[in-house]
Amino acid sequence: MKNWMKLLMLLVVPSLAFTACDDDDDELPMVSNAQVMAVHASPDAPGVDLLVDNKKVNSAALMYPNNTGYLTVEQGRRNIKINAAGTSTSVIDANLDLKAGANYTVFAAGRLSGIKPIVLEDNLTAPASGQAHLRFVHLAPDAPAVDIAVQGGPVVFSNRSLESATAFTPVAAGTYTLEVRPAGTTTVVLTVPNVQLQNGKIYTVFAKGFLTPPSGNTNTLGAEIIVNK
């Protein structure tokens, strides 16, 4: 028994000494990441590429009104460019401070002549049982402030001006028809049927397109729904 103990000590002690010395030399730094989604919400802009620190991260042109889904990006100050697809012409060039573990949505919004980034930090805290979370973003360039209401029910978001965003709001899970109305009125300018909000899911709905599209543009007023989680 004593011989076994001596042998064990001979094996373990040098190993511990080697490990203690080795930790200082070979320890790798931990890299923490953020999640970033880009959304093409400019109704008269062509397809675009997304670049992070000058590196293209989408494999195909991002077309209106689509999104990239969440992409993993290293935390810290990152340069985000949105270029006309296949070119080096940047329509958006912004530096964003990204926090480790945080989630963000970057909308390319407005008319092409004045396109800008709308950056939102996304709170993806899980909804309570039986509920979903819903957020509204107004990105229809020529539309006035609006109310979002449930057909035959209450106003969910009131007096939302262009480029404003609500917080994620608890809503009972279910299927709804939503109405978009000029703020403070009962006039319906857009009906969004069959909006399915599933238990435990998180959604963003954004108003898109033109009330009066410019010549040759067919992107009329509508709504797009993103499943954030």
The count of other CB atoms within 10 Å of the CB of residue 3 is 7
Domain membership of residue 174 (yes or no) is: yes
Domain enclosing residue 55, as ranges: 32-122
CA 38/CA 94 separation, integer angstroms = 13
Q: Give 166-224 pLDDT, tens digit per residue.
A: 999 999 999 999 999 999 999 999 999 999 999 999 999 999 999 999 999 999 999 99
d(CA 1, CA 166) in angstroms, rounded, equals 72
Q: What is the CATH number of the domain that holds 73?
A: 2.60.40
Residue in this structure with the two tokens 């950056």, named with its chain if needed? 119
What's the whole-model pTM score? Answer: 0.84
Whether residue 108 is found in the same domain as residue 142 = no
> Is residue 228 located within the same domain as residue 132?
yes
Q: Could you write out the DSSP letters of every residue in 111-131?
A: -GGG-EEEEEE---PPPPTTE
Reduced to 3 states, what is the DSSP secondary structure of residue 11?
helix
The pLDDT, as a whole number, for residue 153 is 93
| Spatial contact of 47 and 65, defined as CB atoms under 8 Å apart | no
Give the model confidence (pLDDT) of 50-84 as tens digits: 999 999 999 899 999 999 999 999 999 999 999 99
Residues 193 and 111 in one domain: no
Examine the domain organization and report whether 100 and 39 are in the same domain: yes
| Region of residue 66 (phi > 0: left; psi between -120 and 50: alpha; otherwise: beta) | beta
CA distance 88 to 78: 18
Residue 81 lies in a domain: yes
In a domain, 24, yes or no: no
Task: Tell me which residue of 92, 54, 91, 52 sits closest to 74, measured CA to CA.
Answer: 52
Q: Tally the domains of the chain.
A: 2
139-159 pLDDT tens trace? 999 999 999 999 999 999 999
